[in-house]
Amino acid sequence: MAAATATLEYADRASREMRERAAARNIPTIWDRYEDVQPQCRFGKLGICCRICSMGPCRISLKEGKPPLVGACGADADTIAARNVARMIAAGTAAHSDHGRSIAHTLRLAADTDQADYQIKDEDKLRALARTYGIKTEGREARQIAREVASAALDEFGRQEGEMVMPTTAPAARQRVWKDLGIYPRSIDREVVELMHRTSMGVDADYRNILRHGMRTALADGWGGSMIATELSDILFSTPRPLRSTANLGVLNPRHVNIIVHGHEPTLSDVLAVMSRDAKLLERARERGAEGITVAGICCTANEILMRHGIPIAGNFLQQELAVLTGAIEMMVVDVQCLMPGLSELAKCFHTMLITTSPKARMPGVQHIEFREDKGRAVAREILETAVDNFAHRAAEKVYIPDAKERLVAGFTSESVFRFLGGRYRATYRPLNDGIMTGRLRGAAGVIGCSNPNVDYEKGHIGLVKELLKNDVLVVTTGCDAIACAKHGLMRPEAAFAHAGQGLQEICRAVGIPPVLHLGSCVDNSRILRVLSNVVAEGGLGEDISDLPVAGAAPEWMSEKAVAIGFYFVASGVYTLIGQPLPMMGSENVRRYLTEEIEQEVGGKWAFELDPVEAAHRMIRHIDGKRQALKLKPMMYAQAFKSEG
Ligand code: NFS
Ligand code: SF4
């Protein structure tokens, strides 16, 4: 096993220690399995293997001039690569949006049922969303409004005529771009279905046409499914407010029953988090010899319940196995997405119970306690009691919790961040826009997405974010990048003084924010779209998102969801940089379209860069280009990195 030989320069202490322990005990983890699948198929990596019909699989030659140049049906590298990437968008959009759909159903349940386990927690937001959908709010009760908002949201999925409503919240100029190009989304399910149709055998063979529909599908995610997930979660579970918490495996308590919630949808984890504080349950834990109950999160579930309840984060995607390896987890409860199937074998080495809860995501041989929204509290109670009872089976000699946790401030939203920036009474983006216009802030960057074993441990995230901060770029983050930043202390209130350039330090001090703002889970990337729209609306920085001095990055992307996110940011006018290229580099035409020509069509484009410092500089060069186009003042302080001239 070669896992221990990988560079761990950026690894936090907890992850380093747990990886060493796994290696010492010969327990395989993601890094070992990743080694085992090497060397990887180059045709797959380059996106030029097609297996969508049984005349294939067909792969295009990697050697110039050497057949086959086309598949059996005549599809060339351009068609094949575009179809493959487009299907990743469909899958990513489906994942985010199906999550959004389940929240919409939960909102309807809360509106319809007197005794529902869910209530409307943010009525202001409900009323604001109702106005977006043209639903009357005056003199009406919250539940009445909620019922109609839930159906309006559900209509976004299956509408057969007309277009989606949620994207009307984008700047007017942006909506025109989509209309002119014919990519304004009509409905979420429809775009996904049409994409699957177009990319099936013998349909769309024009790579640009395929990828334009890919953008339309991605827009149905960002400005649709994901945005619905975020907005309705805020209505049901409350809109986050800035709060303090902690992150990393050290949040586990050796004397407590430790329960990990892992996955994505907040419907179960939110109830679990609240009910874990129940007095009767604590009593039960004490009877079994534990001093208390700790619930901690992994992946986006962690972000959801951190943002709303301050529940600590155990770790991100690459730490799911490391958490089990502590031997101190009574139960890991999973719902959907980013769950490694390898967990089931690993859990057998410990007393840890792995519990699946969604009918959409089961694992062979793993206990399943099915979660249903209409009996949320009852299922949560059963799960919690089972976890508490498992404390008796913990083997003390197998327990090792690394002494590593980091303080953080999280819970920012498009409404709250700059409410603080602007003073107490009014949500305004003026101070942010002014900061950029006067050259205190260079611009802003969204750094998001997964962690990936094909990168030196978290070097992609941390190397990139630190370089941006040094150069006065404010960073907003979500998903597993957010957790990486938290573990590295970049979300401490005082982090600006250690890492930020002078201008960014001044902004952080004036407003009392860390230089890296945690905006939530991956569906909450829709909050970043909202922030960008609000910055445009505030004025002084152009008419459209594509005018803004901003950039996006997913340095360690892994999931198909990240591909959908990248495409909706590009289609929204944002320069979007990822580490490992999209799997389409076998087609020079597709590469040129996505990294160059597409900018003429939508104002954003793709970039690929594995070196984190160079990645930051490429983003900064883009930001500086936008500053010049807007004729903004030069930067106020000497900069660590100068674009040129
Ligand atoms: Ni996002 Fe969340 Fe993490 Fe990647 Fe997975 S948890 S939805 S996909 S791995 S950031
Ligand atoms: Fe081969 Fe064409 Fe079938 Fe793809 S669609 S597997 S390229 S024959």
> What is the domain extent for residue 550?
409-630
Which is more confident, 589 or 114?
Answer: 589
Number of domains within the chain: 3
pLDDT of residue 5: 46
pLDDT band, very low/low/confident/very high, at 2 (cuts 50, 70, 90): very low
Q: Identify whether 93 is part of a domain.
A: no
Mean of pLDDT values over 139-153: 97
Which pLDDT score, from 0 to 100, does residue 415 have?
Answer: 86
SS3 assignment, position 406: strand
Distance from residue 263's CA to the centre of ligand 1 (Å):
9
Looking at the fold, whether 360 and 289 belong to one and the same domain comes out as yes
Query: Tell me, what CATH number does 158's domain have?
Result: 1.20.1270.30
| Edge-to-edge order in the sheet of strand 576-578 | 516-518, 473-477, 443-447, 550-554, 576-578, 606-608
- Residues 267, 148: one domain? no
Asked if the structure places residue 644 within a domain, the reply is no
Shared domain for 345 and 216, answered yes or no, is no
Cβ–Cβ under 8 Å, residues 239 and 125: yes
Domain co-membership, 514 together with 609: yes
- Does the residue 426 lie in any domain? yes
Same domain, 212 and 260: no
Does residue 59 lie within any of the structural domains? no
Domain boundary, last residue among 183, 208, 236: 236
Closest ligand to the CA of 73? 2
The secondary element (H helix, E strand) that includes residue 332 is strand 331-334
pLDDT at 65: 85
Dist. CA 616 → ligand 1 center (Å): 21
Mean pLDDT over the full length of the chain: 95
Q: Is 70 in the pocket of ligand 2 (CB under 6 A)?
A: no
205 lines ligand 2 (CB under 6 A): no
Q: With pLDDT > 90 as the criterion, what percentage of the chain qualifies?
A: 92
In 3D space, the residue among 626, 632, 578 whose CA is nearest the CA of residue 603 turns out to be 626
Nearest protein Cα to ligand 1, atom 6: 299
* Dist. CA 490 → ligand 1 center (Å): 19
Q: What is the mean pLDDT of residues 238-243?
A: 94
Any domain includes 640: no
> For 219, phi and psi rounded to 5 degrees?
-65, -35
Give residue 426's pLDDT: 55
Residues 440 and 499 in one domain: yes
| H-type alpha helices, 245-375 | 266-275, 279-287, 299-309, 320-325, 343-347
Residue 436 sits in the same domain as residue 559: yes
Tally of CB atoms within 10 A around 253: 17
- By alpha-carbon position, which residue is closest to atom 5 of ligand 1? 338
Of the pLDDT bands very low, low, confident and very high (cuts 50, 70, 90), residue 116 is: confident
Please tell me the predicted confidence (pLDDT) of residue 599.
98
261-289 in b/e form (b: 16+ CB < 10 A) is bbbbbbbbbbbbbbbbeeeebbebbeeee
Burial label, 162 (beta-carbon count in 10 A; 0-12, 13-18, 19+): exposed
**pLDDT of 174 higher than 70:** yes
Cβ of 46 less than 6 Å from ligand 1: no
- Tell me which amino acid residue 149 is: V
What number is the average pLDDT over the span 480-506?
A: 96
pLDDT in tens, 39-98: 999 999 999 999 999 999 999 998 888 999 999 999 999 999 999 999 999 999 999 999
**What band does 3 get if pLDDT is binned at 50, 70 and 90?**
very low
Check which CATH number belongs to the domain holding 426 and give it: 3.40.50.2030
* Cα–Cα distance, 488 to 493 (Å, whole number): 13
Query: What is the 564 CA–ligand 1 centroid distance (Å)?
Result: 12
Q: Return the residue matching tokens 């958490």.
A: 323
626 and 550 in a single domain? The answer is yes
What is residue 352's three-state secondary structure?
coil
Enter the tokens of residue 481: 């990048």
Checking if the pLDDT of 4 tops 50, the result is no
Q: How far, CA to CA in Å, does 591 sit from each of 284, 368, 422, 454, 623?
A: 59, 44, 42, 21, 22
309 and 193 assigned to the same domain: no
Same domain as 429, residue 340: no
Q: Is the pLDDT of residue 121 over 90?
A: yes
Among 180, 202, 236, the domain boundary falls at: 236
State which of 204, 236, 268 marks the end of a domain: 236
pLDDT(101) > 90: yes
Assigned domain for 532 exists: yes
- Cβ atoms of residues 574 and 552 within 8 Å: yes
Confidence of residue 419 (pLDDT cuts 50, 70, 90): low
User: Does 66 fall in a domain?
Assistant: no
Residue 40 domain flag: no
Instruction: Kindly identify the ligand whose nearest atom is closest to the C-alpha of 482.
Output: 1
Overall average pLDDT of the 509-518 stretch: 92
Per the structure block, which two tokens stand in for 601?
């069509």
Most informative mutation of 69, 80, 207 for ligand 2 (most atoms within 8 A of CB): 80
| pLDDT tier for residue 496 given thresholds of 50, 70 and 90 | very high
Nearest of 38, 62, 36, 67 to residue 49 by alpha carbon: 62
Q: Measured from the CA of 70, which atom of ligand 2 is nearest?
A: 7
| pTM greater than 0.95 (yes/no) | yes
- Return the ligand 2 atom nearest residue 50 CA: 4
The secondary structure of residue 243, as a DSSP letter, is E
Quote the CA–CA distance of 645 and 642 in Å, as a whole number.
8
Least confidently predicted of 178-187, 278-287, 317-326, 407-416: 407-416
Q: How far apart are CA 354 and CA 334, in angstroms?
A: 8
CA of 25 to the centre of ligand 2 (A): 46
300 lines ligand 1 (CB under 6 A): yes
Question: Is the sign of the CA dihedral 418, 421, 425, 426 positive or negative?
Answer: negative
Q: How far is 228 from 30, CA to CA, in rounded Å?
A: 33
pLDDT in tens, 532-574: 999 999 999 999 999 999 999 999 999 999 999 999 999 999 9
Which tens digits make up the pLDDT trace of 207-234?
Answer: 999 999 999 999 999 999 999 999 999 9
Residue 7 pLDDT more than 90? no
Same domain, 433 and 372: no
294 CB near ligand 1 (under 6 Å):
no
What confidence score (pLDDT) does residue 425 get? Answer: 47
Q: What is the pLDDT of residue 301?
A: 97
In whole angstroms, give the CA distance from residue 369 to residue 359. Answer: 9
Residues 356 and 459 in one domain: no
Round to whole Å and give the CA distance between 26 and 349: 11
